[in-house]
Chains A and B, each alone.
Chain A
Amino acid sequence: MEEFNMLPIYRTGIGEITDGIAIKAPMFCKNKCINKCESYYIDVFNKKHGLNTCPYGFNTYLLKNGTDLTLFTGFRVKGEYNKKKADPKIEKEDINPVIEHELMDKYINAYIKYYKYQNEYNGLCGFINELVHDIRKFNAHILYKSDIILNKAEQDKYKAFHEHAKAISAMSSYVSLRLDAYNFIYNQNPLITGGKSIYNLYKIFDKNKRCFNRKASESDIKISISNNGLCPDIKAYDCIELVPFILIDNGIKYTPKGNNISIYVEDTINYQKVQVESLGPKLSSEELDQIFNKGFRGDGAKKLSVDGSGIGLFTLKNICDLHNMDVNAWSEPKVYKTISGVEYSKFIFSIIHKKMDVG
């Protein structure tokens, strides 16, 4: 566990003193603690919680925090330490000022608070990890059961079952991608470990379009996808699936009701290009320059009552950089609509994958 100790701490087990942030243990203490002071430390650990003075005149403080014991050592509290014994042992290079009792109390309280918050934070992290694990586990059950239905139920005879199973599969994929987006921000390793696999840009955009159909229809938004013919496979990390997820999710979030999102995949000799076009809050050229910055939201987007933390496009840029893909955003100056004081213009995202990077 990380610590936030202003005072030096004696580490049992390894018999060493680690410096505090404000007070460094004197070299004298660091050299002596293994041999001469060990018996003193053993004795102190059996004492009550509180301040003591070691045989060499320095102060120690035993903190009992539940079942945890922390021993601060090698510092000097005014009026408490043995000046005659300790002062001659301080060397010129030692950062070991004499401190007031009140300051010592503050340092120790800060340590206790930090320890408490660390524990709560670790507990929360543990809870979230368990939760995400369970969600993925049950999501996997749902996904595979629906795939089994798709395999076993003949399409002609059980058309309704097929359609429901496809919808379940699409929703399950949506949940998975939502969790991937969270994962990529806090721990991207699993999404890039094991090298690249085969992916098809058109197919992953098409799959995401189906995942978002329900959400899009709630806002009466139509998503269309087309291409100029063949779209060969590329090699990419697993996180590539977040690219269409983020773009379509963003598109639905900011497109006014009753409008369209169109996706076009173009394949040429030199590159593959994906263009996502929609209506969105108009951005100035200054805002466009910052659109991929973490936490950025344009003024127009802020006026809308939609959730957004400015992480999505930042994540998108990171993923594109990982794959040496160029990503650009363009907001047309012409205003198409104004709704509740927010100006909307045509918004285009384009992602270019240069073909020399294939394989």
Chain B
Amino acid sequence: MNFEMFIYKSFSKKYNKILKATKDINITELRSRVRILVVDDEEYDVVTLLKIRGYNVFYKTDIYYVEESEPFDIIILDIKGVGKRFASPLEGFGYAKEIKLKYPHKMVFCYSGTSDVNISEQLKYIDGFIKKDTNIDNWSNKLDENIKTYSDVNYHWNIIKNQLEKAKIAIKDINEIEKLYKESYNNDEFDYLKNSLMNKIKDANIFLNILQSLTTLIKLFAH
């Protein structure tokens, strides 16, 4: 390689890294990449307003299976009038809890005009609550905060770490997996992590969960 080419490649690498860093924290870009599902039997105007602000938002009037939330990153469910099929006295909140249980990496919120004490005491099982007549600026602030959290590798790692601890994986192994997890994310490189996981984790769900969370993150920042 000649000198000019060497200089070009060095600067090019640095320039791309800086570009990537700028792009990574650009909230407008993230808004368009994070998929948000709003489930409400009546309200559509808020979806219109969020789309105007550049959010990648989808809308359903109801949800019949928890698996319907799989393609989305952030799920926001109305409480009243949603999830009739689930036949839960907590209505949409029943679904919200189930989604969070099945897909712990997804961010799940409920929104409602009601502040029923029975539901509010259980809000700790999901990621938050938005009151129904929240103005659009506050919607935007909340969503942006949560999009940034969702795009943070540490958020996903903490969920995985929780699962590994529950599965009684040794601390030494957890620390090693953490190192490989974050390296895989930084380098878009899976092999070392995959091989390490296969030796340490017998639970297929946890194994897949770890890889899936990484692909989610990488997809968010893919150029």
A positions within 8 Å CB-CB of B:
129-130, 132-137, 139-141, 143-145, 147-148, 151, 169, 172-173, 175-176, 179-180, 183, 186-187, 189-191, 193-195, 197-199, 238
Min distance, Cβ B25 to any Cβ of chain A, angstroms? 15
What residues of A have a CB within 8 angstroms of the CB of B121 in the complex? 189
**Bitwise interface map of B from 45 to 60 toward A, beta carbon under 8 Å scored 1, else 0:** 1101100100000000
Residue pair B120, A198 in contact (C-beta under 8 Å): no
Assembly CA distance A193 to B129 (angstroms): 6
> Which stretch in B15-23, B133-141, B165-173, B209-217 binds the other chain?
B133-141
Assembly CA distance A179 to B115 (angstroms): 10
Assembly CA distance A145 to B45 (angstroms): 7
Assembly CA distance A183 to B129 (angstroms): 14
**Bitwise interface map of B from 145 to 174 toward A, beta carbon under 8 Å scored 1, else 0:** 100000000000000000000000000000
> Which stretch in B96-104, B106-114, B180-188, B200-208 binds the other chain?
B106-114
Residue pair A193, B124 in contact (C-beta under 8 Å): yes
Most buried by A among B115, B123, B135: B115
Contact A133-B141, Cβ < 8 Å, known A148-B48, A195-B128: no
Residue pair B120, A148 in contact (C-beta under 8 Å): no
What residues of B have a CB within 8 angstroms of the CB of A180 in the complex? 131
Tally inter-chain residue pairs, CB-CB below 8 A: 108
Residue pair A144, B109 in contact (C-beta under 8 Å): no
Assembly CA distance A134 to B80 (angstroms): 10
Min distance, Cβ B92 to any Cβ of chain A, angstroms? 13
Q: Which of A143, A144, A195, A198 is B141 in contact with, Cβ under 8 Å?
A: A198
Least CB separation from A195: chain B residue: B128
**Bitwise interface map of B from 21 to 49 toward A, beta carbon under 8 Å scored 1, else 0:** 00000000000000000000011011011
> Interface size class for chain B?
20 to 34
Q: Does B142 contact A (CB under 8 A)?
A: yes
Least CB separation from A182: chain B residue: B115
Interface of A is mostly: helix
Residue pair B49, A148 in contact (C-beta under 8 Å): yes
Residue pair A144, B131 in contact (C-beta under 8 Å): no
Residue pair A197, B142 in contact (C-beta under 8 Å): yes
Min distance, Cβ B64 to any Cβ of chain A, angstroms? 23
Least CB separation from B107: chain A residue: A194
Contact A135-B113, Cβ < 8 Å, known A140-B43, A176-B131, A195-B128: yes
Other A-B pairs, 6, CB within 8 Å; known A132-B113, A139-B132, A197-B142: A136-B131, A137-B42, A137-B133, A147-B135, A189-B115, A194-B109
Q: Does B127 contact A (CB under 8 A)?
A: yes
Residue pair B109, A136 in contact (C-beta under 8 Å): no
Residue pair B120, A140 in contact (C-beta under 8 Å): no
What residues of B have a CB within 8 angstroms of the CB of A147 in the complex? 45, 49, 135-136
Q: Does B191 contact A (CB under 8 A)?
A: no
Contact A190-B129, Cβ < 8 Å, known A197-B141, A198-B145: yes
Min distance, Cβ A183 to any Cβ of chain B, angstroms? 5
**23 A/B residue pairs, CB under 8 Å, sorted by A:** A129-B114, A133-B80, A137-B42, A140-B45, A141-B45, A143-B133, A143-B135, A144-B136, A147-B135, A148-B48, A151-B49, A176-B133, A176-B135, A180-B131, A183-B115, A187-B117, A189-B120, A190-B123, A193-B128, A194-B127, A195-B128, A197-B142, A198-B144
Min distance, Cβ A210 to any Cβ of chain B, angstroms? 12
Most buried by A among B45, B112, B121, B144: B45
Q: Does B116 contact A (CB under 8 A)?
A: yes
What residues of B have a CB within 8 angstroms of the CB of A194 in the complex? 109, 123, 127-130, 142
What residues of B have a CB within 8 angstroms of the CB of A190 in the complex? 115, 120, 123, 129, 131
Most buried by A among B48, B132, B138, B141: B132
